Amino acid sequence: MANRSPMASVLVVGAGLAGLACARVLAAAGLAVRVADKGRGPGGRLSTRREGGFRFDHGGQYLTARDPGFARLAEGWREEGIAAPWRGRIVRLRDGTVEESPGERIVGVPGMSSLVAALAGPLPVAYGTRVAALEREGAGWRARTGDGGDLGRADLAVVAVPSPQAVPLLEAAPALAAEAARARMAGCWAVMAAFGDGAEGPGWDAAFVADGGPLSWVARDGSKPGREARGTWVLHGAAAWSEAQLEASPDAVARTLLAAFRGLTGIRAEPLHLSAHRWRHAIPTAPLAAGFLWDPATGLGACGDWCREARGEAAFVSGRDLALRMLADMGIAPDPAALL
């Protein structure tokens, strides 16, 4: 392996759940970790957006906590007041029927991005930094930006971005790149809509939609704990529909999904705010189920929900487990207080 010293340097590309989980475990074990992300802040697809005076969780809507380690982390978030259970009525709509969808769902307070911000807190993260290439240099890696800028060298590198973006960053390790290319991710259009207090709702707060139309999910974002405006809604386009409409104009997408939303909810009022955001790589439709990718000979790895399954929690577990494997290969015991 590239460097077996506890002070080995590591570059993590991506400040979503997977990248931050990996970085936190490695940093807790004494490695010199830095993170680079093209966004303006942490979160990846677990982001909160502010538009038109409103706040929307326009990406990942909630998290589950089935993994014991992640459950402990989530409990800590609750104690800190940055997470809470979402107790809204969530249903499944199929062929005109309404079925309850039970289960505990955890959300960030006041937004989903609060959770990744907490993970990123103690880490050195370079935001607004797009890593375009990882080049082999000796026994390590050198990162470069899209305009050829040099981000420096690291002994080890971790790629924690959606699989289509990970493939070119893994080119120097062809076996990893080929494996990452097997994963499939679909795009998703997200529409953010805000209505006045007088808009009547459908009697539920969120719904999985399986009627073959353009919607896959609708949620009254304002029903989540810690939200200021109850009349805020997030609408997600179905995977097949979103893929077919990836190059459509945001305005056309917003109007189409709004019309479908009205048909489901009966809300006819004109929105106070309406906008659309395209997630080009949003949902793993064919994840690898490998957990993570790791090449100890070169010190290069990759992690994310696309390595495991289509759940936000899976991204965290993927990043954490990759970090534990890296430490094991270096003969370093993980810090028991780290995110395990």
Six-digit token string for 340: 């395990």
Q: What is the CB neighbour count within 10 angstroms for residue 326?
A: 26
For 214-270, write each residue's pLDDT tens digit.
Answer: 999 999 999 999 998 889 999 999 999 999 999 999 999 999 999 999 999 999 999
pLDDT value at 113 more than 90: yes
Task: Give the separation between CA 149 and CA 153, rounded to whole angstroms.
Answer: 12
For 275-304, write each residue's pLDDT tens digit.
Answer: 999 999 999 999 998 999 999 999 999 999
The answer to whether the CB of 191 falls within 8 A of the CB of 235 is: yes
DSSP string, 177-244: HHHHHH-EEEEEEEEEEE--TT----S-SEEEE-SSSSEEEEEEGGGSTT-S-TTEEEEEE-HHHHHH
What domains appear along the chain, each with residue ranges and CATH number? 9-330 (3.50.50.60)
The amino acid at 91: V
Six-digit token string for 105: 């769902």
CA–CA–CA angle 214, 246, 57 (5° rounding): 70
Name the β-bridge partners of 222: none
Q: What is the pLDDT of residue 136?
A: 96
Give the relative orientation of helices 113-120 and 68-80 as an angle to the nearest 10 degrees.
Answer: 100
Task: Give the separation between CA 304 and CA 315, rounded to whole angstroms.
Answer: 5
CA–CA–CA angle 2, 125, 44 (5° rounding): 100
The string over 256-291, giving b where at least 16 C-beta atoms fall within 10 Å of a residue's C-beta and e elsewhere, is bbbebbeebbebeeebbbbbbbbbebbbbeebbeeb
- Which three-class secondary structure state does DSSP give residue 136? strand
Query: Among residues 261, 259, 255, which one has the least CA distance to residue 274?
Result: 255
Mean of per-residue pLDDT scores for the chain:
93
289: left (phi over 0), alpha (psi -120 to 50) or beta: left
Flag whether the pTM goes above 0.85.
Answer: yes
Q: What is the pLDDT of residue 120?
A: 94
**% of the chain beyond a pLDDT of 90:** 86
Q: What is the pLDDT of residue 144?
A: 95
The amino acid at 286: A
pLDDT value at 86 more than 80: yes
Q: What is the pLDDT of residue 146?
A: 82
Q: What is the pLDDT of residue 178?
A: 97
Q: What is the pLDDT of residue 44?
A: 81
pLDDT value at 41 more than 70: yes
294 φ/ψ angles, rounded to the nearest 5 degrees:
-155, 130
pLDDT band at 42 (very low <50, low <70, confident <90, very high): confident
Q: What is the pLDDT of residue 6?
A: 57
- Which three-class secondary structure state does DSSP give residue 14? coil
Mean pLDDT in residue range 30-44:
91
